Amino acid sequence: MSKRYDLIVFDWDGTVMDSTAVISGSIQAACRDLGLNVPDDETARHVIGLGLEQALRYAVPDLPVAMYPDLVVRYRYHFLSQDAAIPLFEGARETIAELHGAGYWLGVATGKNSNGLNRALDSSGLREYFHAMRTADVTFSKPNPAMLFELMDELGASAERTLMVGDTTHDLQMALNARVDAVAMGHGAHPPEQLRELNPLALVEDFAELRVWLKSYA
């Protein structure tokens, strides 16, 4: 059977790596350190996938501009203390390796910065499978479609033959803005009802379901 897609792009946090609780908890802990209003769990989870500054502006909207550097420092302190121990979702490694072996181009589009993604690729051992990456410090943050446009341009893939896999509405909106198909992962940061509102081709619960879907439709 011929392939429907040439390029499959994965979000990282909450999609490939089970980091949602660590990120949201680090945002909340950083706010406590500085005596700020602590965002609730829903708000802290909602910003996952955005660039860090954009995420903190949403999570702590009343924060004075002069305090952003302090909040970033405290966030990174809490996140980096746990970073190396964050696991991949079950089945992520096998699925990504299988797609690579089947000849798909694989990309990453993430709200992480370049240093953070490089650490994650090295600690997970997944670097060898990805052909191109875009992070929020080198181009526009989601839901701007720039990450997908740049990945497609670099790898020579058309929008019609590109698939985005992500766990947040930011991922799905980015795909819509780029006119790229998308599959939503239900095990990440945003609840299924929010993901369904953006009409992904499928909403799968985990990598086992994603592999079944990909074998049938990708």
**Positive or negative, the Cα torsion across 206, 208, 211, 217?**
negative
Q: Which two tokens stand for residue 67?
A: 């305090």
**Angstrom distance (rounded) from CA 149 to CA 174:** 10
H/E stretch holding 171 reads helix 169-178
Contact 52, 18 (CB under 8 A): no
Q: Which of the following is catalytic: 11, 167, 171, 181?
A: 11
13 is catalytic: yes
Q: Is 11 a catalytic residue?
A: yes
Of 155, 153, 157, 120, nearest to 135 (Cα)? 120
Query: Phi and psi (nearest 5°) for 202?
Result: -155, 155
Distance separating alpha carbons of residues 14 and 151, to the nearest angstrom: 20
Q: Of these residues, 13, 167, 171, 181, which one is catalytic?
A: 13
On the CB side of 34, how many CA atoms lie within 13 Å of its CA?
24
Catalytic residue IDs: 11, 13
